[in-house]
Amino acid sequence: MNSIQTQSRKIRHGYWDFGESHEPLIHRIHAYPAKFPSFITVKAVSRARKEGVDVKTVADIFCGCGTTAFESRRLGLDFWGCDINPVAVLIAKVKSNTYGIGELKRLHSRIKRRFRKGDASDVSIDDLPPRLHYWYHDDDAKELKLLLRIIESETRKGKYRDFFLCAFSNILKGVSRWLTKSIKPQIDPAKKRIPVLDTFNQQVATMVKAVQESALDEGTNRSIERLDALTDAIPEAMADVVVTSPPYVTSYEYADLHQLSTLWLGYAKDYRDLRKGTIGSVHQTETTNRKDELNAVGQRIVTSLEKVGSSKAKASARYFSDMNRIVTRCGSLLRPGGMVFFVIGDTEYKGVKVSNSTYLRTCLRDAGFQSIRMEKRKITGKNLSPYRTDKGKFSSNPDDRKVYAEEFVLSGRKEA
């Protein structure tokens, strides 16, 4: 007889809706789509401890911008995380690092002084990727290139350089022609230009203030790696709790949304190269239909989608297949008796309900997880487009159909 009783409990309401304290400023130092609230990690750890888990290490297989990483360190816990997106890895590392405030201010002063003494008009931008010429006025591109050059010359490789590169990254859309707050890359022809250095200084000031109030435990260990969670080697049996939020099927194209940072920071010569391996991306080139790999719930959903769009059905089958593998990999991350927490929502396409949560619950059961729970939570602050058009596309128009008013927290326990 297993030491943990297998059970599937009814959906419970309220526990995951709100936190008990104000969210730290550090979680707002860089724009990032679909962030889940920071209190999710805190409540997951609390729930695991109530279930008898001795929590010492937390992991996140979709680390994103580092919400779980920061909150784990704030709780005095060790952390391991990964993400396929290099921009996400940069943000996550910066958010969960500790810094000397005096050193940050000293370096910032040197960067400002060098920039003011420099002459951006002499900077050549001929070697910039064509895509950056598309997004920027020449004068702004020259100032950005000068600023980046100074950051790299005034800081040594490591956490302090990462701090200022993160600040640089977060101003790139603001000083570009990118339509403000748009979740899709599009130019705003009426957008007013803003000064590069002033914008950078404001960003650094915000980040320094966030670090000052963070009060992270320096005695904890933290490792964040750029990895493909599906294919790369990951640690085994090292975490007591996994808290993660997978991407939705064919929702955000993270490579496209982060293209400015990707190109400026040299992560790729063509931002589209980073679409490869991204779970849920509509740009995956695989043509194989993985429907036969799915459990009964997944097959029913894909069959319904086939009636309204073959490409969407294939993309969903691929997504569901990948998510099944992710559940298995989370299991390998956990020590015996550890718990996993997934934050995920259901979607809809042309009238077909895509029940990601029910499919994931079935995957947890099939993978041998026990004490499985699926609990509903209201979305109160998640950065999602809350509406869909009649064709199922994302929209910010309140006259369209409202979706994403709720999501689910699924949890399960690995056999001890």
Q: b/e per residue, 239-265, with b = 16+ CB within 10 A?
A: bbbbbbbbbbbbbbbbbbbbbbbbbbb
Across the range 31-49, mean pLDDT stands at 94
Topology given in CATH for the domain delimited by 26-98+216-413: Rossmann fold (3.40.50)
Q: Are strands 57-60 and 239-244 parallel, antiparallel or unpaired?
A: parallel
Name residue 109's amino acid.
S
* Torsion (CA) 78, 84, 87, 92 in degrees, nearest 10: -10
Predicted local distance difference test score (pLDDT) of residue 404 = 62
State the first-to-last Cα distance of the chain, in angstroms, to the nearest integer.
11
Distances (CA, A) of 339 to 147, 227, 320, 412: 45, 22, 21, 6
Residue 56 has pLDDT above 50, yes or no: yes
Residue 277 has pLDDT above 90, yes or no: no
Least confident of 148-157, 291-300, 379-388: 379-388
Across the range 337-344, mean pLDDT stands at 97
- Contact indicator for 381, 19 with CB cutoff of 8 Å: no
Predicted local distance difference test score (pLDDT) of residue 67 = 97
CA distance linking residue 351 with residue 305, whole number of Å = 9
Average pLDDT, the chain: 89
Q: pLDDT (tens digit, 9 = 90+) per residue, 365-384? A: 999 999 999 999 988 654 44
The ranges assigned to domains in the chain are 26-98+216-413, 101-214
Residue 254 has pLDDT above 90, yes or no: no
* Torsion (CA) 230, 236, 240, 244 in degrees, nearest 10: -10
Between these two residues, 17 and 162, which has the higher pLDDT value? 162
Between these two residues, 333 and 389, which has the higher pLDDT value? 333
Q: Which of 326, 414, 355, 374 has the alpha carbon at shortest distance from 62?
A: 326
Residue 200 has pLDDT above 50, yes or no: yes
Predicted local distance difference test score (pLDDT) of residue 116 = 96
